[in-house]
Amino acid sequence: MESVSKTTGKVLIFSAPSGSGKTTLVQYVLGEFASLSFSVSCTTRAPRGEEKHGKDYYFLSVEEFKRRIEQEEFVEFEEVYTDKFYGTLKSEVERIWKQGKVVVFDVDVKGGIALKKYFGSKALSVFVLPPSIEELRRRLLLRGTDDHSTIGTRVEKAAEELQYQDAFDFKLHNTELSVAKEEIKEKISEFLNS
């Protein structure tokens, strides 16, 4: 059991190319550790599938997102694709810390690097690696949420993002999900108790 004093002010950052299994692993660790709480990011993209405002993301208009940028309300933000913004509100981090919990981020690679820079040693940054680019493409196709053109763009972006893996504290190879779950559980336990 991790002590509250050791977890105060800490953050866990999960980043990966789209389709690497990052969100599945984030959901797993949230179920395994009571001291973790998910940071709901803001985005200007449309909801996918069953996603809910305030649970999966805060879905904002481009205008609202830009207004919040001007008011310096974000810890980090990124325009991932044209008019497709993602960002982390300072108020969301404070909300979780006030509960005495560790903030868990599920962000893109640039966001992960920015968050690690911002939080420094209070952060454990994890880069989730897919088995291969071919497997990544297969997973994105199976997901069924994007057209072929969008998948092509995501795969190209993934190849670029893989070049940044060394900027993260821990590289998690998600070849076999059960193995990846055990590895990340052990790594988080070490971090929470340090």
CA distances, 191 to each of 21, 161, 181 (Å): 21, 25, 15
Known binding residue 22? Answer is yes
Q: How far apart are the first and last CA of the chain?
A: 12
Known binding residue 18? Answer is yes
Known binding residue 20? Answer is yes
Q: Which residue in the block uniquely carries the two structure tokens 């800490």? A: 10
Known binding residue 23? Answer is yes
Instruction: Report the C-alpha gap between 16 and 14 in whole angstroms.
Output: 7
Known binding residue 17? Answer is yes
Strands (E), 60-159: 74-81, 84-89, 102-107, 123-129
- Quick one: which of 156, 131, 164 has its CA closest to 21? 131
Q: Tell me how crowded residue 72 is: count the other CB atoms within 10 A of its CB.
A: 8
SS3 assignment, position 19: coil
Known binding residue 175? Answer is no
Which amino acid is present at 189? Answer: S
Query: What are the binding residues for ATP?
Result: 16-23
Give the annotated binding-site residues. 16-23
